């Protein structure tokens, strides 16, 4: 017959001790155990224990079990159990023989083993401390025309794919903003306006919904991934124009994740990446070329239509493909994300081509010996 005890909780804070579990051990014919006068009582075999660990299936399936089929005998004269079951602890010397002889019951020494465990305690709740409200307070001022000190009229004229200008059918949209938010987050846009001007600043070649995304970002807002994916190139264009570097790089990363490169569109996309200093997108294109079938690349890709400076990026991608490790300590072989992270840690601009990043890090000093 087995007895089920209370569960022992593991991995939770300890609380008060459980009640004692008592197991009497009977040392039969104790007086006949071998001993030496004046020394403590010892025995070669004291306790035999059989271990079985069982994991119950929650839906009545087959249980998992493991353990030792034969009883394991522990020797109290040693700290090691008899058999290959690992170490155990005990008292090699419990009491003197002449004293224990007074405790025999019909020649048997009864030793009670008392065991108890720590019960799980209550998880102490961390004190509630509100987060820094700065960003939430900034967002409250987003498009607040009562407190705003600058105004923009956005839309009207858009640029077609061929570079010509045409009038949009939709009217312009007015946006109110605060110069301090633009000064820190969109410096080029801040330079276009002055606080307190009565006349609005006209912004053309930007769709109003894109400009709203930019302003929202300047106030600490997060643009939805769906909007980044659908309007990535427009957001990159506007963020690059107004100096919102972090938003430009965020939209670039989203574009890299969604763009489908082929040998037919690679020249168009890599040329676009080069024109906007989109180093991550350019690296993505070069990785694609370096891993593509070289014969097919030679047949279908017109390198004459690509800027000659991109050859260096292609050679770096080819050299990197020959290295097993994805992380390099050589600046010239570092990936763009590594270079941007290193530049950011040094307080440098993270915008620009990989060549610009490498040169800035080297000029900052000790860049070539710094691990990513």
Q: Which of 64, 88, 120 is the last residue of a domain?
A: 120
Q: Which of 120, 153, 182 is the last residue of a domain?
A: 120
Diameter of the chain by CA atoms?
114
* Nearest-angstrom CA–CA distance, 74 and 202: 89
Q: State what percent of residues in the chain have pLDDT above 90.
A: 40
Residue 83 and residue 167 in one domain = no
Tokens of 225: 């991934």
Q: In what order do the strands lie in the sheet with 72-74?
A: 47-49, 72-74, 81-82
- pLDDT, residue 12, reads 61
| Beta-carbon count within 10 A of 229 CB | 13
Residue reference for tokens 């030793």:
111
Residues of the chain scoring pLDDT < 50: 45-46, 74, 76-90, 160-165, 367-372
Return mean pLDDT, the chain.
Answer: 78
Does residue 295 fall inside a structural domain? Answer: no
Residue 146 and residue 254 in one domain = yes
Does residue 188 fall inside a structural domain? Answer: yes
What does 204-256 look like in DSSP terms, one character per residue? Answer: -SS-HHHHHHHHHHHTT----HHHHHHTHHHHHHHHHHHT-HHHHHHHHHHHH
CATH number at residue 237: 3.30.710.10
**Domain ranges, residue 42:** 14-120
Closest to 14 in 3D by CA, of 106, 98, 93, 116: 116
Q: At what angle do helices 245-258 and 232-242 cross, to 10 degrees?
A: 160
The alpha carbon dihedral of 214, 234, 277, 345 has a sign of positive
Q: Which of 120, 147, 171 is the last residue of a domain?
A: 120
Q: State what percent of residues in the chain have pLDDT above 70.
A: 67
């Amino acid at each position: 017959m087995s007895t089920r005890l209370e569960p022992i909780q593991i991995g939770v804070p300890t609380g008060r001790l459980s009640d004692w579990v008592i197991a009497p051990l009977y040392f039969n014919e104790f007086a006949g155990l071998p001993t030496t006068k004046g020394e403590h009582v010892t025995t070669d075999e004291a306790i035999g224990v059989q271990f079985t660990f069982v994991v119950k299936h929650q839906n009545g399936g087959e249980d998992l079990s493991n353990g030792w089929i034969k009883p394991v005998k522990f020797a109290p004269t040693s700290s090691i159990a008899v058999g290959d079951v690992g170490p155990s602890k005990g008292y090699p010397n419990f009491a003197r023989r002449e004293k224990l002889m007074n405790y025999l019951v019909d020649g048997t020494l009864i030793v009670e083993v008392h065991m108890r465990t720590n019960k799980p305690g209550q998880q102490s709740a961390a004190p509630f401390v509100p987060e820094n409200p700065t960003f939430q307070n900034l967002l409250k001022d987003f498009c607040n025309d009562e407190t705003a000190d600058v105004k923009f009229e956005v839309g009207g004229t858009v640029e077609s794919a061929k570079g010509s200008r045409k009038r949009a059918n939709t009217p312009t949209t007015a946006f109110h903003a605060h110069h301090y938010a633009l000064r820190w987050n969109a410096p080029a846009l801040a330079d276009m306006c002055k606080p307190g001007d009565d006349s609005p600043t006209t912004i053309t070649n930007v769709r109003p919904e894109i400009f709203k995304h930019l302003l929202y970002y300047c106030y600490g807002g997060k643009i939805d991934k769906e909007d980044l994916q659908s309007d990535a190139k427009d957001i990159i264009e506007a963020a690059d124009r107004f100096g919102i570097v972090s938003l430009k790089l965020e939209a670039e990363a989203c574009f890299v994740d969604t763009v489908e490169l082929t040998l037919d569109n690679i020249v168009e996309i890599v040329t676009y990446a080069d024109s906007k200093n989109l180093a991550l997108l350019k690296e993505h294109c070069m990785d694609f070329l370096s891993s593509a079938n070289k014969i097919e690349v030679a047949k279908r890709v017109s390198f004459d239509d690509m800027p000659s400076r991109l050859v260096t990026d292609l050679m770096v991608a080819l050299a990197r493909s020959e290295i097993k490790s994805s992380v390099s300590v050589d600046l010239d072989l570092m990936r763009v994300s590594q270079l941007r992270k290193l530049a950011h840690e040094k307080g440098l601009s993270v915008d620009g081509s990989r060549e610009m990043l490498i040169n800035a890090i080297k000029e900052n000093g000790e860049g070539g010996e710094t691990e990513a």
